[in-house]
Structure 1
Amino acid sequence: MPLPYRVTRSFLAGLMLAALALPAQGQESEPPPPAVLTDEAVSAVMARAVDEVIRPGYRDLHASASDLADAVSAYCRAPSAATGTAARAAFNDTVAKWSFIEIVREGPALRQNRFERILFYPDRKSTGLKQVQALLAKADEEDTDATTLAGKSVAVQGMGALEYVLYGNGAKALDKAANSFRCRYGAAVAANLQTIAGALSAEWEQPDGVQRAWKHPGPGNPVFRDGKEAITALLGVLVHGAETVRDQRIESFYKGEDAPARPKSAIYWRSGNTWRSIESNLEGLKALFTKSGMEGLLDPSQGSIAGSIVFVLNSLQHIVPTIDPDIEKAVSVPAERRKLDFLVINARDLVLRLNNDYGGAIGLGAGFSFSDGD
């Protein structure tokens, strides 16, 4: 007699988890000699990374942030259920667009504290929440001006601050009166996000700026002196991005059934965007790895390394949308916790496959490690 569907499904999920939890390939046997990197091959990979992932990612972020600024302003002028829904939908879209490209924590994103100004997280001491609550209580008109706001604490001018405005305690009052202080402050935050996103996109679009430095490693390049430095940096983006998913996005609130869960430490928990953000992080990681053609730098005999990386990414992407968006339920319901365990185990495995297997295969050396600050 065949097993019931739910048992069969659970059994297959267990097999899948066990398979993915195996040690990364580089740990199982002595790897073949690394591929010989050429500056020409690396330049082609870097060019695709810039032209097919990074530049489009920042363009999409800027477009989404512009729509968000318009939607929040419209909500302030004419508050209603419809304009409120539109503003929150625009916020959700900007979460997704930012989460896709936030993995590229390099270059222009690090200048002028842009990364932290867009996203102040993790906020382990609730500094941002306290500052936003204090700002709303004070109701100083200068905080409704985007230009002035840009010079204030990073904790009050980004995605976390706007999430609290739209979804935090007191957000329902936004529907009751036009041009309330809270809404106009939110509009200033949205306008500030639009400005930052526009600056990021503009810098990556300059042909003689950061994109040239990434595309053409060489002796005269102020960023990458050769192809090895360039591909090391690109791999570093992937490794650190995968670590962020593991450490800051999942283990920030869930470290396994033996550790206390902290659902209100999850990113975007108020707006229900935790999994939307993580799914977009993973989408960005996969796009950067596949669209740049990093597999092509491997010796043909080592192609399975790239296949395993994509397999783990696909598996993570498959499970994330199935998890309950209510983080309280996700950490308390046994079936949901099993999904979280799957994420934790395989996010760790992804880091190993990128850092150890791929890094070793392209000749970074057995002792090399991006992980955990090494």
Structure 2
Amino acid sequence: MARRRGAGCARQGGRHVSRRSCQFDPVPGVFVMKFLCLVPLRSMMAACVLGTTLGLLPNASQADEVNEVSATQRVNVVDNAGAGQRWAEAYIQPSFATLTHAAGNLVKEIQGICANSGRRDAALLGEAFKNVVDAWSRVLFLRFGPLVEANRYERISFWPDVRNVGARQIPKIIGQYEAGQAPELSKQSVAVQGLPALEYVLYREGGLIQAVALDKPFSKVMKAQCDYAAAIAGNLVATANELESAWSEQGTYGKAFKQPGPAAAYRSLDEVLSEGIKALATGLQFTSDIQIKPALTSGNSKLLPYWRSDQTLSALRAGIVGMREFMAAGQLSLGEQAWAQQQFLAELTRADALLQGPEDFEAVALILDNARALLVQDIAPAAGVALGFNALDGD
């Protein structure tokens, strides 16, 4: 079957090579390397399983072209019968438990500050916020099942907020708290409920972090901000508890991922495998195309996640490590394509190690695109999975 060549693809020496300029406008004040990326297609991959230099894998424009895998290469779906249970027990359940625990600690920290009980410590508050951001970043790619029900994803993180809805609505919410008319947060816009809203209240100019650092009695408006922050944290705990419960041993999704059946949320092993692999593909696309590239192409660092709190690098690395650990936990049987899984894990390990500063964003995005190409072109077909639409389609 002939392979079509994506835009910017040329032939050199009998092979397809993608010439990607990779020249983005840099984030202000930060040097961003510019280079010409030469990315050979998958005909070169099998011989480069242990390669670590950039440019071994297909370019992003070809990532959704699923290769044909011969019958001898494609494993029987039953060979991966335990993947759902391993994903649930080794990664999903403990990760949502960590999110619940981190959110609970954040609530206690903020409530103590609001009540002025004990010593106020801006560093402890910042660390508690960071722990929740990291815990969330490790599960946000699990964008299916309970996380997309009841707007839970958006309730935890309405981002990117392209219309700046949160910044417009948050002052009104604070005003209600100041007037002693605290609204029921769960019934308000998702833009004022989750982590981006909390980051705004904590880290904006004149925000709660600065007020705590001054170690002076709160003004009426600052007390209102504190109460609002505590309400957001409480909302995060409630949502995290719902997710942890849904994925528990007796939860709807915890049971269905391990034992799919006609009456379960997942009817077959194929559906479980498809959900897990599609979640990874979507997560890689989200990290590269939405979290990283807009800031590179526009030169606007405020398009990065958690730029106010300076948690961008930590959040990105937590997400990359999380996706790597999820793949490793599944222990997929891929037959002759086992090399692709090992290369996928190596790519994400390399991305995590490389990501030390904004100057690394461009190279990391390329690595993530390469990892996604491996997933879509080699791993999914070998596992007998046909990837359909994902949560980002239409965005």
Same fold at TM > 0.5: yes
C-alpha contact (below 8 Å) 2:57/2:373 kept by paired residues: no
Instruction: Give the structure-1-normalised TM-score.
Output: 0.82
Match of residue 242 from structure 1: 284
Report deviation, 1:189: 0.8
Aligned partner of 1:135: which letter? I
Counterpart selection for 2:204 from 159, 168, 185: 168
Aligned partner of 2:257: which letter? W
Report deviation, 1:29: 8.9
Cα pair distance change 1:25/1:31, threshold 3 Å: farther
Distance, in Å, in 1 between the alignment partners of 2:258 and 2:350 is: 31
Aligned partner of 2:337: which letter? Q
Report deviation, 1:136: 2.6
Match of residue 168 from structure 2: 130
- Equivalences for 1:347-362 in 2 at 5 Å? 347-362=368-383
Distance, in Å, in 1 between the alignment partners of 2:64 and 2:288 is: 20
Match of residue 25 from structure 2: none
Cα pair distance change 1:159/1:25, threshold 3 Å: closer
Match of residue 312 from structure 1: 347
C-alpha contact (below 8 Å) 1:163/1:270 kept by paired residues: yes
Report deviation, 1:19: 3.7
- Equivalences for 1:61-100 in 2 at 5 Å? 61-78=99-116, 82-100=120-138
C-alpha contact (below 8 Å) 2:67/2:377 kept by paired residues: no
- Equivalences for 1:1-374 in 2 at 5 Å? 16-21=52-57, 31-33=69-71, 34-39=73-78, 41-78=79-116, 82-138=120-176, 139-143=178-182, 148-171=184-207, 172-174=210-212, 175-178=215-218, 180-207=223-250, 209-218=252-261, 220-255=262-297, 260-294=298-332, 296=333, 298-299=334-335, 301-320=336-355, 322-323=356-357, 330=358, 336=359, 339-364=360-385, 373=393
350-359 or 54-63: which moved more?
350-359
Report deviation, 1:32: 4.2
Distance, in Å, in 1 between the alignment partners of 2:375 and 2:53 is: 19
Distance, in Å, in 1 between the alignment partners of 2:310 and 2:369 is: 24
C-alpha contact (below 8 Å) 2:141/2:283 kept by paired residues: yes
Distance, in Å, in 2 between the alignment partners of 1:140 and 1:354 is: 53
Q: How many residues align?
A: 336
Distance, in Å, in 1 between the alignment partners of 2:348 and 2:56 is: 11
Distance, in Å, in 2 between the alignment partners of 1:61 and 1:120 is: 17
Distance, in Å, in 2 between the alignment partners of 1:211 and 1:28 is: 30
Distance, in Å, in 1 between the alignment partners of 2:316 and 2:260 is: 32
Report deviation, 1:53: 0.4
Report deviation, 1:210: 1.4
103-112 or 159-168: which moved more?
103-112
Cα pair distance change 1:21/1:43, threshold 3 Å: closer
Q: Secondary structure at the match of 2:110?
A: helix
Task: Deviation per CA, 1:103-154: give whole Å up to 9, x if none.
Answer: 11111112221111110101111111111133234534343x6xx1111111
Gaps of 5+ in 1: 1-9, 324-329, 331-335
192-201 or 132-141: which moved more?
132-141
Q: Secondary structure at the match of 1:102?
A: coil
Q: Secondary structure at the match of 1:313?
A: helix
Cα pair distance change 1:49/1:30, threshold 3 Å: closer
Gaps of 5+ in 2: 1-33, 39-50
Q: Secondary structure at the match of 2:121?
A: helix
Match of residue 326 from structure 1: none
Distance, in Å, in 1 between the alignment partners of 2:304 and 2:117 is: 29
Cα pair distance change 1:142/1:248, threshold 3 Å: farther
Cα pair distance change 1:201/1:18, threshold 3 Å: closer
Cα pair distance change 1:29/1:85, threshold 3 Å: closer
Q: Which has the higher helix share?
A: 1
